[in-house]
């Protein structure tokens, strides 16, 4: 969130100046974004190989990567699934969940969170283009948010950029600045650069180039990963990259060693190189002699030693296990530094008891719960803006004080959940609260269960009433009451 002096916005800046400064910040981030994306995809050249090794192997290992930079963020993202949004009163916000699904945010939020874990941040734009709220998640290289100086959360401006191949487009959102109302500015320029000018390409007739922001505030939210009080958001794979480079290089050395030195090497002592005569096929005379290719003896597995005193010696094969031990230690360091359970990286799953498995995952679970807290604040702000875009300020205020309900970060078996819920039931926890604890259960499912339970209870009450109606005084043939059954 810190910016360089030359790119710091001023309230008096015009829209073109603000776009230029914010675009320059995006460009400055591009190098790291590209690097971390390449690491995640496994596109990483050997970093620690010596020049001699690189010269010997050429481009043999250019496409090789034992990629842990993908496993680490993927393992964490799997623990970050949004289940529901609750208002200030603790009840589920059905309108928020409807908008969440209508805009496919329930699917794309996983991609946005993964981007934030990999490249440190992603963004969400909330807008109302056709009278209906819309949520769009945007990658790091296509948006940026500027904050009011001295504030870590009060957005002053935001920029979204994209290209159609011939033109680059920019949309700038601002809060009230220097006496101006909150505005939306639409600009464009050619992909070769140049000055930003009012947009003319691809503008719909209903779309204004400059207009007062109907949202009243900046509608772009930054989804930041591990933001500190002073400093920038960080990528989850920043600490993995050096160890990843080491693992890739050691694997390259291991493969090379397996090719050249995995088998015992033999040497002939006390004898000249074997030669054979070159004979004239017509006369039978010996014209010359030539060396016998040593590879022939390797293929034929046979060698004649015709010189007295000649012997065969042997060099030991290379110990490839030493390479594997170093790789194993590097992977364990990755597991410790990122709090990724060893079984995810090393495949050590044999005969692990449930308690031991839960203990091994405790670091990852704690890390996921911390991410739920910080990402949850960003998602809560996104849904507050969605309520504003939908024209419901009361719901927006409630969501701002509510919470995001996440799936349990601890993976447990069905039997473990059933046992835990039974014990909660024994101490008087209501059924509705217990149902919300079941992973993967959606709010509409809980509503259906409540309806079915109430119908079942009503049917049972009706049956009981029908059964009890058969007891009591009966009328006799003369119109009186027979008290025999009642007395009995």
Q: How would DSSP label each residue in 283-346? A: T--EEEEEEPPHHHHHHHT-----STT-EEEEEPPP-THHHHHHHHHHHHHHHHHHT--HHHHH
Q: Is residue 458 part of a domain?
A: yes
Residues 6+ apart with CB under 8 A from 52: none
Q: Please tell me the least confidently modeled range out of 176-185, 242-251, 438-447, 479-488.
A: 479-488
5 pLDDT higher than 70: no
Among 316, 345, 360, the domain-final residue is 316
Q: Pick from 228, 231, 224, 233: which is nearest to 377 by CA?
A: 224
Phi, psi of 80 (to 5 degrees): -120, 80
486 pLDDT higher than 50: no
The C-alpha atoms of residue 152 and residue 52 are separated, in whole angstroms, by 49
Give me the mean pLDDT over the 388-416 stretch: 90
Q: How far apart are the first and last CA of the chain?
A: 85
Q: How confident is the model at residue 472 (pLDDT cuts 50, 70, 90)?
A: low
The answer to whether the CB of 188 falls within 8 A of the CB of 199 is yes
Q: Is residue 456 part of a domain?
A: yes
The C-alpha atoms of residue 180 and residue 462 are separated, in whole angstroms, by 67
Residues 6+ apart with CB under 8 A from 154: 147, 148
Q: Could you report the per-residue pLDDT of 130-168, keeping only the tens digit for each?
A: 778 999 999 999 999 999 998 888 999 999 999 998 999
Q: Is residue 202 part of a domain?
A: no
Q: Is residue 419 part of a domain?
A: no
The C-alpha atoms of residue 96 and residue 386 are separated, in whole angstroms, by 8
Q: Is residue 375 part of a domain?
A: no
Q: Is residue 385 part of a domain?
A: no
Other C-beta atoms closer than 10 Å to the C-beta of 82 total 20
Measured on CA atoms in the order 117, 376, 359, 420, is the torsion positive or negative?
Answer: negative
Count structural domains, the chain. 2
Q: Pick from 26, 319, 50, 45: which is nearest to 146 by CA?
A: 26
413 pLDDT higher than 80: no
Q: Is residue 142 part of a domain?
A: no
Q: What is the 3-state secondary structure (H, E, C) of 393-461?
A: HHHHHHHHCCEEEECCCCCCCHHHHHHHHHHHHHCCCCHHHHHHHCCCCCHHHHHHHHHHHHHHHHHHH
State the residue range of the domain holding 300. 264-316
The C-alpha atoms of residue 468 and residue 6 are separated, in whole angstroms, by 86
The HSE-up count of residue 266 (CA atoms within 13 Å, CB side) is 10
Q: 92 vs 383, which has greater pLDDT?
A: 383
Among 283, 316, 349, the domain-final residue is 316
Q: Pick from 77, 62, 33: which is nearest to 238 by CA?
A: 33
Q: Pick from 239, 234, 236: which is nearest to 29 by CA?
A: 234
Give residue 38's pLDDT.
94
The C-alpha atoms of residue 399 and residue 142 are separated, in whole angstroms, by 27
Q: Is residue 432 part of a domain?
A: yes
Give me the mean pLDDT over the 429-457 stretch: 84
Q: Could you report the per-residue pLDDT of 296-331, keeping only the tens digit for each?
A: 776 666 777 777 777 777 777 778 888 899 999 998
């Amino acid at each position: 969130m810190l910016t360089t002096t030359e790119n710091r916005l001023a309230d008096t800046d015009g829209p073109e100046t603000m776009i230029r400064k914010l675009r320059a910040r995006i460009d400055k981030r591009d190098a790291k974004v590209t690097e971390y994306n390449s690491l995640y995809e496994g596109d990483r050249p050997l970093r620690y190989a010596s020049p001699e090794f690189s010269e010997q192997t050429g481009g043999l290992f250019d496409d090789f990567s034992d990629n842990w930079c993908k496993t680490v963020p993927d393992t964490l993202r799997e623990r970050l699934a949004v289940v529901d949004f609750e208002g200030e009163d603790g009840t589920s916000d059905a309108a928020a969940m409807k908008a969440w699904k209508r805009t496919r945010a329930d699917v794309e939020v996983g991609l946005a969170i993964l981007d934030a874990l990999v490249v440190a941040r992603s963004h969400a734009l909330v807008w109302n283009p056709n009278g209906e709220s819309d949520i769009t998640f945007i990658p790091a290289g296509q948006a940026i948010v500027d904050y009011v100086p001295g504030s870590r959360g009060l957005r002053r401006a935001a920029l979204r950029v994209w290209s159609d191949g011939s033109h680059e487009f920019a949309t700038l959102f601002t809060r009230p600045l220097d006496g101006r109302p909150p505005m939306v500015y639409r600009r464009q320029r050619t992909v070769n650069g140049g000055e930003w000018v009012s947009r003319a390409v691809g503008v719909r007739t209903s779309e204004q180039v400059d207009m007062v922001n109907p949202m009243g505030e900046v509608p772009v939210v930054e989804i930041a990963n591990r933001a500190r009080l002073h400093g920038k958001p960080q990528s989850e794979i920043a600490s993995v990259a050096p160890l990843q480079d080491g693992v890739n290089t050691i694997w390259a050395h291991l493969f090379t060693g397996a090719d050249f030195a995995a088998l015992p090497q033999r040497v002939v002592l006390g004898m000249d190189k074997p030669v054979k005569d070159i004979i004239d096929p017509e006369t039978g005379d010996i014209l010359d002699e030539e060396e016998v290719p040593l590879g022939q003896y390797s293929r034929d597995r046979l060698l004649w030693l015709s010189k007295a005193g000649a012997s065969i010696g042997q060099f030991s094969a290379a110990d490839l296990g030493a390479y594997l031990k170093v790789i194993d230690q590097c992977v364990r360091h990755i597991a410790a530094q990122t709090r990724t359970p060893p079984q995810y990286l090393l495949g050590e799953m044999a005969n692990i008891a449930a308690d031991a498995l839960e203990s091994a995952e405790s670091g990852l679970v704690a890390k996921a719960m911390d991410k739920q807290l910080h990402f949850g604040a960003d998602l809560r702000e996104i849904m507050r803006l969605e309520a504003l875009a939908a024209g419901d300020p009361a719901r927006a205020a409630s969501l701002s004080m509510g919470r995001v309900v996440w799936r349990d970060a601890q993976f447990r078996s069905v039997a473990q959940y059933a046992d835990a819920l039974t014990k909660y039931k024994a101490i008087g926890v209501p059924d509705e609260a217990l149902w919300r604890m079941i992973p993967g259960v959606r709010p509409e499912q809980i509503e259906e269960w409540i309806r079915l339970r109430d119908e079942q209870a009503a049917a049972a009450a009706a049956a009981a009433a029908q059964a009890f109606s058969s007891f009591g005084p009966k009328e006799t043939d003369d119109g009186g009451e027979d008290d025999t059954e009642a007395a009995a």
